[in-house]
């Protein structure tokens, strides 16, 4: 085996999205090399176009249906991965829309920015299909390393530096812990294929080292999804990073983290729910409470959104705590949540970016009375926030509903207790979401300056897309839910 | 079939129409054509009602004389008992079906009766002395024919002895329609026309008509003339609705509606706080009583087992003896609690004197003649329930009779210490209402209702007279600013005097007859038990009534004028109603002329007409005894009344030439004789009774009334408000709300605490991450090891 | 052989602990980066040891990937430290606490 | 919604529910400055909605009011088996009619009463969105559909209170929001539990009553408990009522009216429509507790009313007491009681709505609602004074006006609850004894009601105006107020005189439903 080389059969259709994005990346680098510094505006367009183009094979693959397995099962294209690939591509596109003016006006490095963004998205796409420890690790690093740089993008701003440094240090430290866990896992099972690991870990007893490995791996990805107590980097990074990057980290990067969690939990530990479930129960509860409670005290909108994102991650962790009982239903509910969460959270960041063009600050007080001079922005923001709070008929309700449904479906103490805790936290969360809406709509403008906000077209487009989707998802949740109908991670696992 | 009796709903409808007309067009009419135009709507309506009620009364008399038989009777009975059986069957409740069984037995019974009645001519009731024989004679036939039916069905048994007493069972005329349905039970709204309601129709419409006319002058140029007439119409409509009610729910509706009219009219001059306070007090006190009524109605609804509010059905069931007696007692007492407030019984009477804050014609109509007797009417209407619940027929004292008697005394005593003429009359009304309640309590149904009837006329006359006086004396009712009005207001004086004598119960005025029947009823009691205590109370009151009325009369009309300005007689529009009422106060007592006195009249069918036409025969206690006329009692009460009147007048005449007082008035002369003969009693009364017994007692009672009872009522109000404040401030805003706000606070604070974890130092973040990982790993490794 | 494996694993664990200590305790950013390298190398030792134990190449391949990625990571890390130094004239990570709470 | 379903597009219910939103969308396109256009558009929209609604009500077959009529059942979220099931029966009909009536009246009233800080466009759009939410809740026959519509009303009301409310509006609005959201969270968990535990994986309110009986008693209790709190907050029941006084007091007039008239009914409607038919067994176990909380609410609300110095706050607390009667009636679990409860809901909606209208207009004229500063309303604006009088009388349950038919039958039904011999958790006292005590307490509650309402009327309407307002010109009821109020006043009287208008409709639905619930 070691000597004879057998070329792996490559399904180019299955790899088409990744190939398109890689090609776009190459084009970007080429174009960047040959355009003067003042004419980088084509970069964003090319990047955006590339992402949209990558959606085409995603759609054709989805229409085609079926599961495509490559590299001896290390890379799988199925409903699960397609839904997520689509999500990453669309989120990436919206992030590009958000970034366009921000980056162009900020005199930053436009060319490199989009290249790194695309690289990170590529990492995420790979993550969605990875079913093997090495692939997962590579995908993780591919999506993380560009993100460290993006976080520190405003390199003359100390806050941005701080954001980058903290993110980086915590990120690599967590990766290291994760890797250590992976190495133990490998040592115990002798394979990097998740499905094989799963089989090996099945059975009555499991060595302590395996427990350690499982915990370390969960911790490593827990960092990525900013689960408490591995969340500490998130508020600081979110606040300091350029807002479009923050949006990207809060949505796409977090989604990637969840993808990784789901892949390892369902792919590698489906028979070790005795460890995984209580672990996630504890993480989910801590994440919800800490995120929400600290968010209550925030005065900076971006920082508040960061903590809100932590809390939202807590909701998404909850189904994993009943993964053993409900199986793929947990995957589906998390996928639904991720899609709706991406929509509304990107929308919220878009409004913050738009409004900050005038206020030049993320402080809540500076948004007071927004409705007087930018009613559209204020109403849109209110809708995003209340969607995040889970108020029907805005999309967020169905996301939360899916969580509730999964938890109740488990019909276990863990499930019901989490359902109640999610309910309580929804109420706490409403408090700060509503406070932002209140400040923007019910308070007076601080300096009485009623001049309107100039919202560039790209931002308008981003807000419109996310707003429409938020409302439509709320009224017709089937549009989202239907996508996940066949999403499964368990079918690949052979019951020993 | 009588063409008007089943369409009596027209009466309240007319008045309701009148109310709406005045409400919507009154102001405009007044502006364009003057007050008379507005008032004429109300006057015309009530006049039509009055005429109709005369016709109705006539038709009822005819019906009693020629009652329907056979199928007609069965149909009428079915109409009156309502749809309860159907509902009962559906509900699965076991009830005896009165209609079916009743029909069979009635059929037999009426035939038998009819033949006997034919001999008697008009089928009149035998007076008391013939009772024994008639019942014997009549008893045999139905017992023979309908024994099995009677034995099987209590209803039939209940209906039976009615015939025994010589009364043919005359089924009231009932009409109804569905009001609403719930749980597939039809709740009906309907009218009942029998002697009782016909009598009430007559009384209400007549006094209302007179008050309408009287008010034309009394309320002349009043700021709220339209409002006043609108309320009068609404009140008349409600009162008529109430007396025609065929079920207790409907009665509850009418009961509250008259209450709200009373509220509106007491508060007629609502600029003054005192008036609105009085209005509120009236309404709230009545509401307290209403809880009893509500509970009573509810309990009865279920206690009778067939989910029906129908009064006849409930009476019938109550009399059947098959109901749970405890429930029945609770129902009766609860209903009586309602009566207590509405009809000013102790201890809920305190609102009535305050209610005098309203315009005087209103006091006459509502707070003397009609609304306040609604409670008495309720007892009379639901007599089966009270009879069965309180076991009136087999008792010598019970709550209702006692409260009636007690009220009559405390009301009477309080009347002595009033300086306000209307308040004297108000306390007198309380006292008289107590009389009526007592009468019904001792089983003297006819006597009580008859007193209600006569009282309406002379008390209305007194109130309207007082109004006339105040009209003359610059709108004061303070007797200290009156005196000597006899000279200035001859008509008012005469009518007031007649009414006073009638109220005092002097032969042959109306009050004498009705009062006497009550006393006789108490003396006779039911079965072999007499209501002795009630008799004593009644006699005391007879004396007191005369005395305080004498006092009031004297202070108002005799002596020297003590007010300012020159009083003048009121115009005809005021005096004519007074005279009409005075005439009635004089003669109306004769409608229940006891056959005893002149045996010859009896056969002509003139004796006991009131009893004959008014006392029900359907769903009514059959073993109710009607007391015979007692000469000794009549004499005694007459002596007491005369004595009282003489003392009342004589005491205040002290220092004046006694002749002057007794000049023109024959009745006063009798009092004068009494006074002259036992003049030493005056001193005794003054120093011995009045100052040492009556006045302290009265003061004490008044103090008790104002401080304790009123205090309790007011105090309860204040306490409720205080408690509400405390509850609101500390519990609602403090604890209940605080818990919520507290939770919020805790959240915020814990958020604040958790924020400290976020130090900003990346290595501490790392430590947290790794520390947590190690701890988690340790926990799971250990549990895993333990499990393994 | 088993004995040998344990020794490798022990070495890996010790390196890991030293690395963690360095990451958490050193104030100098460059030292922190180096500590992270220590951890990654402990992982590599583990992987290679296990790979040998199981007799499959995947562990070694994994280690190669880790080495490559570690290089990239350090590259980015040094760039960030350099940037920090430019703005703050210091590479003391403890002073990077502008944002907190 | 399955858009390809012909059923969906041809059903008038679809149009009734969505026309207000379409109207609101059209209004979004009209510039803010053109206020008249907005008012006309809003009025037309609400009237068109009402017209469609009336066509539904007239097409309704009253002879078989017990059946669900005009049913549409198409896919909505197949993923969770939630369907677009709508229909109208005797229980929802009065509620729909009430909504259809109140909304246009509120729009008319808003014609010259747009509260500070103005912006007719936003205000009216919110009213229309509320309209959709309310109507949708009343036609929904699927738990999830109901839930979504139930929540749709939340945001507009939040903003209505928060933007156009009184001084303390922000506290009140967030409190309203938090409470309701908490209730919804429990409610949705309960719904999902039903979905799974019934074993049928359906949210259909039509099917669940038959299916949920297989759930174990313990779980039934838990699920019902969730709904109890969820719906109880909305009712509001003691002790989760504290959001209501604040919300009512601070809300703009129209907000208060809609809140009192329709929104509170969503809670009681939930009990009648969902909690009791689906889980009758659990309902019987909770019966005594609901009854107990209801009578506590009656007395407690009344006592709190007595402590009030603000007119609007007093009326707000009176809602707690009045809804106590409704809950008491529901707690009896008899056909009688449920009928009474529905009547009580409608009556309370009309009467308290009316009271809030008058309070709003009073505030507009006097710029205060401090009871001790008011007085002599009858002198300065006699018509308004008498309208207040009528409304207070109706509110205190005067027979002949609508309020009585909510109150008295409730008391009546409490005498004879179902499951009379059940030994309750209240010291093992039997239901029968307990409810008879409740009945007496409720009857005593009517005294308190009279007490505070008459106190209010006396201080506000009677007497002479205080010095500060003596020379102020206080205009009487104006044109728009007349148009808005007359229909409500007429209905208060008409329903009071002829209650069968509602009872006949509800009875035929409630009776079989309760029979089914009793029969298991």
Residue A40 CA to residue A31 CA, distance in Å, equals: 9
Residue A350 included in any domain: yes
Q: C35 and C19 in contact (C-beta within 8 Å)? A: yes
Q: Which of B758, B773, B784 sits opposite A177 (nearest CB)?
A: B773
Site from C35, C77, C81, C86 to mutate, A interface, most A CB atoms within 10 angstroms: C77
Cα–Cα distances (Å) from D58 to A54, A186, D54, D347, in that order, read 56, 73, 6, 22
State whether C99 and B760 contact (CB < 8 Å): yes
Instruction: Decide if pLDDT at B137 tops 50.
Output: no
Give the mean pLDDT of B15-23.
90
3-state secondary structure of D70: strand
Task: Mark yes or no for CB contact A293/B754 under 8 Å.
Answer: yes
Average pLDDT of span A211-229 = 92
Out of B761, B767, B770, whose CB is closest to C97? B761
DSSP secondary structure, B672-736, as one string? HHHHHHTTHHHHIIIIIIIIIIIHHHHHHHHHIIIIIIHHHHHHHHHHHHHHHHHIIIIIIIIII
Distance between A463 CA and the closest CA of chain D, angstroms: 17
Q: Which domain holds residue A312?
A: 274-496
Exposure class string for B615-630: b at 16+ Cβ within 10 A, else e: bbbbbbbbbbbbbebb
Chain-wide mean pLDDT for chain B? 76
- List C-alpha distances in Å: A180 to A36, A253, A268, D7: 45, 22, 16, 60
The secondary structure element, H or E, covering residue B173 is strand B173-182
- Summarize pLDDT for B27-71 with one digit per residue, the tens: 888 888 888 888 888 899 999 999 998 888 888 888 888 877 777
Cα–Cα distance, D310 to D326 (Å, whole number): 25
Within the 435-454 window of chain D, which residues sit less than 8 Å (CB to CB) from chain B?
439-440, 443-444, 446-448, 450-451, 454
CA dihedral angle for residue B1, residue B7, residue B8, residue B14, rounded to 10 degrees? -150
Per the domain annotation, does A373 fall within a domain? yes
pLDDT digits (tens, 9 = 90+) for D403-436: 999 899 999 899 888 877 787 777 778 888 899 9
Q: What residues of chain B, 271 to 290, have a C-beta less than 8 Å from chain A?
A: none
Q: Return the SS3 of D5.
A: coil
Helix, strand, or coil (residue B177): strand
**C47 close to C66: Cβ distance less than 8 angstroms:** yes
Q: How confident is the model at residue B645 (pLDDT cuts 50, 70, 90)?
A: confident
Residue B95's pLDDT band (cuts 50, 70, 90): very low
A166 to chain B: which residues are within 8 Å by CB? 762, 765
Q: Which of B733, A430, A468 is nearest to D158 (CA)?
A: A430
CB atoms within 10 A of CB D452: 28
pLDDT bucket at B703, cuts 50 / 70 / 90 = low
- Tokens representing residue D260 in the block: 């009192």
The pLDDT score that the predictor gives to residue B357 is 85
Percent of chain A with pLDDT over 90: 55
Q: Does C53 touch chain B (CB under 8 A)?
A: no
- H-helix segments, D308-430: 311-332, 335-366, 377-380, 382-395, 402-415
Nearest CA in chain D to B730: D304
Query: Using DSSP, how many helices (H) and how many strands (E) does chain B show?
Result: 36, 2
Nearest to D503 among B181, B297, B299 (CB): B181
Q: Is the ipTM of this complex over 0.85?
A: no
What does the alpha-carbon distance between residue B429 and residue B423 come to, in Å, rounded to a whole number?
Answer: 9
Neighbouring C-beta atoms of residue A28, cutoff 10 Å: 25
Least-confidence region, from A100-109, A192-201, B36-45, D194-203: A100-109
Query: Which residue does chain B place closest to C32, by CA atoms?
Result: B763
Q: What integer pLDDT is reported at residue B713 of this predicted model?
A: 54
- Distance between CA atoms of residues D351 and D404, nearest Å: 11
Spatial distance between the Cα atoms of B27 and D408, rounded to a whole number of angstroms: 35
Does any domain span residue A352?
yes
Domains and CATH numbers, chain C: 8-92 (1.10.287.3510)
Which residues of chain C are within 8 Å of residue B758 when distances are taken between CB atoms? 100-101
> CA-to-CA distance for A98 and A248, rounded, in angstroms?
10
* B763 to chain C: closest CA residue: C24
Residue A76 DSSP label: E
pTM over 0.90: no
SS (H, E, C) A26-49: HHHHHHHHCCCHHHCHHHHHHHHH
Residue A290 forms part of a structural domain:
yes
- pLDDT greater than 80 at residue D451: yes
pLDDT at B118: 38
Q: With contact defined as beta carbons under 8 Å apart, do A28 and A118 qualify? A: yes
Chain D nearest-CA residue for A404: D189
Residue A282 touches partner B, C-beta closer than 8 Å: yes
Report the residue from C51, C54, C69 with minimal CB separation from A141: C69
Is A192 near chain C, with CB under 8 Å?
A: yes
Closest chain C residue to A146, measured at CA? C76
Residue A245 lies in a domain: no
| Lowest mean pLDDT across A452-466, B620-634, B682-696, D398-412 | B682-696
Per-residue CA distances from B364 to A277, B522, D28 (Å) = 84, 28, 64
CB-CB under 8 Å, D76 with A442: no
Reported confidence tier of residue B549, pLDDT bands at 50, 70, 90: confident
pLDDT band at D66 (very low <50, low <70, confident <90, very high): confident
Beta pairing partners, D142? D204
Average pLDDT over residues A153-177: 90
For the cut 60, the answer to whether the pLDDT of residue A488 exceeds it is yes
Least confident span in B196-210, B741-755, D73-87: B741-755
Angle (CA) B367-B373-B379 rounded to 5° is 155
Which of the residues B724, B740, B746 would you substitute to probe the D interface, choosing the one with the greatest number of D C-beta atoms within 10 Å?
Answer: B724
Chains with 3 or more CB pairs under 8 A to chain A: B, C, D
Residue spans of the domains in chain D: they are 12-519
**Window 122-141 of D, Cβ < 8 Å to B:** none
Neighbours of chain C (3+ CB pairs under 8 A): A, B
Q: Does D224 touch chain A (CB under 8 A)?
A: no
What are the pLDDT digits (tens) for B249-298? 889 989 999 888 999 888 888 888 888 888 888 888 888 888 899 999 98
Tokens representing residue D202 in the block = 């359906």
Q: How far is CA D300 from CA A165, B97, D327, D379, D508, in A?
A: 60, 44, 14, 33, 34
CB contact under 8 A, C23 and B766: yes
CB distance C101–B755 less than 8 Å?
A: yes
Residues within 8 A of B (CB atoms), A 284-323 only: 290, 292-297
Tokens of A376: 């559209």
Find the CB nearest B760 among C25, C27, C98: C98
Tell me what the mean pLDDT of segment D370-381 comes to.
Answer: 87
- Measured CA to CA in angstroms, residue B489 lies from B420, B481, B485, B575, D349 at distances of 19, 15, 6, 10, 56
User: Does chain B touch chain D (at least 3 C-beta pairs within 8 Å)?
Assistant: yes
* Portion of chain B with pLDDT greater than 90, in percent: 5
* Residue B686 burial by Cβ neighbours in a 10 Å radius (0-12, 13-18, 19+): middle
Q: Is A53 on the interface with C (CB under 8 A)?
A: no
pLDDT digits (tens, 9 = 90+) for A14-39: 999 999 999 999 999 998 888 877 77
How many independent structural domains does chain A possess? 1
D:370-389 residues touching chain B, CB 8 A cutoff: 376, 378-379
Instruction: State mean pLDDT over A127-134.
Output: 92
Closest-CA residue in chain B for C95?
Answer: B761
Between the CA of residue D307 and those of B720, D315, D395, what are the distances in Å?
9, 12, 18
Mutate to test the interface with B, among A161, A294, A314 (most CBs of B within 10 A): A294
What pLDDT, in 10s, does the model give residues D14-35? 999 999 999 999 999 998 888 8
- Residue A192 counted as domain residue: no
The tokens 């009734």 sit on which residue? D16
Distance, CA of B360 to CA of D104 (rounded, Å) = 46
Q: How far is CA A84 from CA A36, A130, B60, B451, in A?
A: 36, 12, 91, 94
Cβ neighbour number for residue C62 with a 10 Å cutoff:
27
Alpha-carbon span B90 to A490, nearest angstrom: 59
Residue B143 has pLDDT above 60, yes or no: no
The CA distance from A23 to the nearest CA of chain C, in Å, is 21
Neighbours of D59 (CB within 10 A): 11
Place of tokens 């999610």: A422
Distance CA A315, CA A321 (A): 11
Token readout for B55 is: 């016709």
């Amino acid at each position: 085996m070691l000597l004879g080389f057998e070329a792996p059969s490559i399904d180019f259709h299955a790899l088409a999205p990744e190939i398109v994005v890689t090609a776009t990346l190459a084009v970007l680098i080429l174009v960047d090399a040959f355009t003067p510094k003042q004419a980088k505006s084509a970069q964003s367009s090319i990047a955006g176009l590339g992402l949209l183009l990558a959606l085409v094979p995603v759609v054709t693959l989805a229409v085609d249906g079926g599961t495509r397995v490559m590299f001896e099962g290390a890379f799988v294209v199925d409903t699960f991965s397609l839904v997520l690939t689509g999500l990453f591509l669309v989120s990436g596109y919206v992030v590009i829309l958000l970034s366009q003016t921000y980056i162009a006006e900020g005199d930053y490095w436009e060319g490199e920015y989009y290249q790194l963004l695309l690289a990170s998205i590529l990492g995420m796409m790979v993550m969605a299909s990875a079913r093997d420890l090495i692939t997962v690790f590579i995908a993780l690093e591919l999506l993380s390393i560009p993100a460290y740089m993006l976080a520190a993008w405003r390199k003359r701003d100390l806050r941005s530096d701080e954001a980058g440094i903290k993110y980086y240090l915590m990120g690599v430290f967590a990766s290291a812990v994760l890797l250590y866990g992976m190495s133990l896992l490998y040592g115990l099972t002798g394979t990097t294929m998740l499905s094989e690991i799963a089989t090996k870990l099945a059975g009555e007893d499991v060595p302590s080292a395996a427990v350690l490995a499982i915990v370390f791996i969960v911790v490593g990805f827990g960092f990525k999804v900013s689960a408490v107590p591995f969340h500490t980097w998130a508020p600081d990074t979110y606040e300091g990073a350029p807002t479009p990057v923050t949006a990207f980290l809060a949505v796409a990067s977090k989604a990637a983290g969840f993808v990784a969690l789901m892949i390892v939990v369902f792919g590698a530990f489906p028979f070790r729910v005795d460890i995984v479930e209580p672990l996630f129960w504890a993480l989910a509860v801590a994440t919800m409470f800490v995120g929400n409670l600290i968010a209550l005290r925030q005065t900076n909108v971006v920082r508040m959104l960061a903590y809100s994102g932590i809390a939202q991650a807590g909701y998404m962790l909850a189904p994993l705590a009943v993964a053993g009982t409900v199986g793929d239903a947990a995957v589906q509910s998390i996928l639904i949540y991720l899609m709706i969460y991406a929509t509304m959270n990107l929308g919220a960041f878009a409004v913050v970016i738009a409004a900050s063009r005038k206020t030049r600050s993320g402080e809540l007080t500076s948004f007071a009375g927004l409705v007087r001079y930018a009613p559209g922005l204020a109403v849109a923001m209110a809708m995003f926030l209340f969607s995040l709070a889970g108020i029907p008929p805005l999309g967020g309700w169905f996301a939360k509903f899916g969580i509730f449904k999964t938890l109740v479906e488990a019909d276990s103490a863990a499930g019901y207790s989490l359902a109640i805790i999610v309910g309580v936290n929804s109420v706490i969360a409403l408090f700060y979401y509503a406070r932002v809406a209140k400040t923007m709509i019910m308070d007076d403008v601080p300096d009485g300056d009623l001049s309107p906000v100039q919202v560039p077209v790209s931002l308008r487009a981003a807000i419109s897309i996310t707003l429409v989707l938020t409302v439509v998802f709320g009224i017709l949740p089937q549009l989202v839910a239907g996508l996940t109908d066949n999403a499964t991670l368990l079918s690949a696992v052979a019951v020993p | 079939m009588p063409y008007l009796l089943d369409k009596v709903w027209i009466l309240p409808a007319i008045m309701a129409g009148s109310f709406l007309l005045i409400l919507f067009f009154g102001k405009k009419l007044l502006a364009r054509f003057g007050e008379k135009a507005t008032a004429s709507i109300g006057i015309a309506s009530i006049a039509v009602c009055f005429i109709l009620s005369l016709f109705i009364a006539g038709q009822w008399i005819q019906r009693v004389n020629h009652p329907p038989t056979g199928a007609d009777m069965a149909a009428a009975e079915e109409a009156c008992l309502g749809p309860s059986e159907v509902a009962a069957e559906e509900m699965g409740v076991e009830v005896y079906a009165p209609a079916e069984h009743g029909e069979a037995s009635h059929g037999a019974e009426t035939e038998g009766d009819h033949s006997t009645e034919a001999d008697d001519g008009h089928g009149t009731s035998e007076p008391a002395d013939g009772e024994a024989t008639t019942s014997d004679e009549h008893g045999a036939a139905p017992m023979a024919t309908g024994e099995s039916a009677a034995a099987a069905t209590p209803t039939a048994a209940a209906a039976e002895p009615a015939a025994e007493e010589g009364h043919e069972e005359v089924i009231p005329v009932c009409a109804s329609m569905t009001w609403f349905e719930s749980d597939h039970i039809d709740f009906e709204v309907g009218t009942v026309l029998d002697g009782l309601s016909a009598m009430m129709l007559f009384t209400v419409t007549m006094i209302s008509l007179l008050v309408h006319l009287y008010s034309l002058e009394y309320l002349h140029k009043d700021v709220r003339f339209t409002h006043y007439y609108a309320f009068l119409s609404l009140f008349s409509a409600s009162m008529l609705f109430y007396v025609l009610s065929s079920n207790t729910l409907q009665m509850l509706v009418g009961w509250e509606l008259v209450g709200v009219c009373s509220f509106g009219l007491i508060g007629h001059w609502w600029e003054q706080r005192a008036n609105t306070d009085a209005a509120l007090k009236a309404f709230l006190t009545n509401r307290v009583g209403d809880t009893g009524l509500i509970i009573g109605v509810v309990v009865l609804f279920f206690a009778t087992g067939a989910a029906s509010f129908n009064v006849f059905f409930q009476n019938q069931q109550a009399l059947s003896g098959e109901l749970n007696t405890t429930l029945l007692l609770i129902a009766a007492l609860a209903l009586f609690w309602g009566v207590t407030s509405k009809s000013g019984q102790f201890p809920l009477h305190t609102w009535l004197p305050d209610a005098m804050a309203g315009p005087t014609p209103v006091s006459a109509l509502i707070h003397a003649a009609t609304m306040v007797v609604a409670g008495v009417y309720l007892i009379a209407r639901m007599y089966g329930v009270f009879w069965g619940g309180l076991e009136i027929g087999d008792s010598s004292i019970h709550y209702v009779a006692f409260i009636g008697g007690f009220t009559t005394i405390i009301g009477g005593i309080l009347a002595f210490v009033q300086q306000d003429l209307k308040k004297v009359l108000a306390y007198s009304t309380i006292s008289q209402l107590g009389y009526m309640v007592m009468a019904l309590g001792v089983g003297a149904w006819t006597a009580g209702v008859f007193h209600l009837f006569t009282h309406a006329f002379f008390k209305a006359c007194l109130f309207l007279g007082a109004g006339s006086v105040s009209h003359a004396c610059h709108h004061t009712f303070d007797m200290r600013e009156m005196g000597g009005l006899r000279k200035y207001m001859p008509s008012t004086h005469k009518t007031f005097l007649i009414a006073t004598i009638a109220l005092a119960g002097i032969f042959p005025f109306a009050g004498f007859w009705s009062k006497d029947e009550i006393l006789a009823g108490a003396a006779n009691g039911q079965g072999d038990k007499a209501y002795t205590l009630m008799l004593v109370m009644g006699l005391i009151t007879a004396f007191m009534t005369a005395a305080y009325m004498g006092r009031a009369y004297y202070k108002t009309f005799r002596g020297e004028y003590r007010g300012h300005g020159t009083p003048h007689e009121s115009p005809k529009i005021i005096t004519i109603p007074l005279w009409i009422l005075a005439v009635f106060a004089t003669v109306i007592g004769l409608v229940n002329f006891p056959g005893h006195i002149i045996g010859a009249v009896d056969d002509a069918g003139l004796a006991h007409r009131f009893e004959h036409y008014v006392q029900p025969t359907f769903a009514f206690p059959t073993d109710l005894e009607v007391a015979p006329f007692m000469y000794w009692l009549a004499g005694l009460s007459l002596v007491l009344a005369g004595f009282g009147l003489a003392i009342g007048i004589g005491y205040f005449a002290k220092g004046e030439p006694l002749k002057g007082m007794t000049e023109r008035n024959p009745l006063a002369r009798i009092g004068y004789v009494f006074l002259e003969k036992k003049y030493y009693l005056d001193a005794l009364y003054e120093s011995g009774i009045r100052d040492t017994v009556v006045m302290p007692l009265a003061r004490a009672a008044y103090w008790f009334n104002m401080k304790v009872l009123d205090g309790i009522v007011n105090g309860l109000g204040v306490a409720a408000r205080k408690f509400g404040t405390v509850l609101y401030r500390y519990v609602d805003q403090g604890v209940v709300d605080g818990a919520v706000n507290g939770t919020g606070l805790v959240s915020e604070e814990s958020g604040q605490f958790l924020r400290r974890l976020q130090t900003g130092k990346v290595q501490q973040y790392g430590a947290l991450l790794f520390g947590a990982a190690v701890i988690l790993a340790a926990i799971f490794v250990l549990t895993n090891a333990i499990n393994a | 052989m088993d004995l040998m494996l344990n020794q490798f694993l022990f070495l890996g664990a010790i390196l890991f602990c030293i690395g963690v200590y360095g990451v958490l305790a050193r104030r100098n950013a460059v030292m922190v980066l180096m500590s992270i390298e220590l951890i990654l190398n402990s992982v590599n030792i583990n992987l290679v040891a296990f790979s040998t134990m199981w007799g499959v190449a995947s562990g070694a391949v994994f280690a190669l990937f880790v080495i490559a990625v570690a290089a990239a990571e350090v590259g980015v890390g040094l760039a960030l430290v350099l940037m920090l130094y430019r703005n703050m004239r210091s590479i003391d990570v403890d002073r990077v606490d502008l944002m907190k709470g | 919604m399955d858009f390809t379903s012909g059923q969906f597009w041809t059903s008038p219910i679809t149009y009734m529910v969505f026309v207000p939103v379409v109207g609101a969308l059209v209004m979004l396109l009209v510039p803010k400055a053109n206020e008249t256009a907005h008012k006309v558009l809003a009025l037309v929209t609400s009237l068109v909605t009402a017209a469609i609604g009336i066509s539904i009500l007239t097409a309704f077959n009253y002879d078989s009011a017990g059946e669900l009529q005009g049913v549409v059942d198409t896919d909505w979220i197949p993923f969770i088996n939630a369907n677009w099931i709508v229909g109208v029966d005797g229980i929802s009909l009065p509620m729909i009619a009430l909504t259809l009536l109140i909304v246009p009246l509120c729009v008319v009233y808003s014609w010259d009463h747009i509260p500070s800080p103005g912006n007719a466009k936003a205000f009216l759009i919110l009213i229309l969105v509320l309209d959709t939410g309310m109507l949708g809740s009343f036609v929904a026959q699927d738990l999830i559909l109901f839930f979504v519509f139930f929540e749709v009303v939340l945001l507009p009301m939040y903003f209505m209170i928060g933007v156009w409310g009184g001084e303390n509006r922000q506290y009140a609005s967030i409190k309203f929001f938090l409470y309701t959201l908490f209730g919804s969270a429990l409610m949705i968990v309960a719904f999902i539990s039903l979905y799974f535990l019934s074993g049928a994986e359906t949210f259909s309110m039509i099917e669940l009553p038959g299916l949920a009986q297989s759930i174990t008693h313990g779980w039934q209790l838990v699920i019902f408990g969730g709904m109890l709190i969820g719906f109880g907050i909305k009712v509001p029941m003691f002790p989760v009522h504290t959001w209501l006084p604040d919300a009512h007091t601070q809300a703009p007039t129209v907000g208060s009216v809609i809140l009192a008239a329709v929104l509170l009914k969503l809670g009681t409607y939930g009990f009648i429509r969902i909690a009791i038919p689906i889980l009758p067994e659990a309902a019987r176990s909770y019966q005594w507790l609901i009854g107990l909380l209801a009578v506590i609410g009656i007395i407690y609300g009344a006592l709190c009313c007595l402590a009030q110095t603000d007119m609007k706050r007093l009326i707000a607390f009176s809602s707690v007491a009045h809804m106590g009667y409704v809950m008491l009636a529901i707690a009896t679990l008899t056909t009688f009681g449920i009928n009474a409860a529905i009547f009580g809901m409608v009556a309370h909606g009309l009467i308290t709505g009316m009271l809030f209208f008058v309070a709003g207009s009073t505030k507009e004229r006097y710029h205060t609602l401090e009871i001790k500063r008011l007085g002599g309303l009858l002198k300065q604006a006699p018509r308004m004074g008498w309208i207040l009088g009528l409304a207070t009388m109706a509110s205190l349950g005067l027979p002949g006006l609508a309020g009585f038919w909510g109150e008295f039958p409730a008391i009546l039904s409490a005498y004879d609850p179902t499951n009379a011999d059940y030994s309750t958790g209240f010291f093992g006292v039997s239901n029968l004894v307990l409810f008879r005590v409740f009945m007496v307490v409720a009857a005593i509650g009517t005294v308190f009601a009279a007490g505070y309402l008459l106190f209010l009327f006396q201080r506000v309407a009677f007497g002479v105006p205080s010095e500060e307002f003596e020379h102020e010109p206080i205009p009487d009821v104006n044109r728009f107020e007349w148009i808005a109020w007359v229909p409500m006043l007429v209905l208060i009287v008409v329903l009071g005189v002829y209650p069968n208008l509602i009872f006949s409709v509800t009875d035929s639905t409630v009776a079989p439903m309760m029979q089914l619930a009793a029969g298991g």
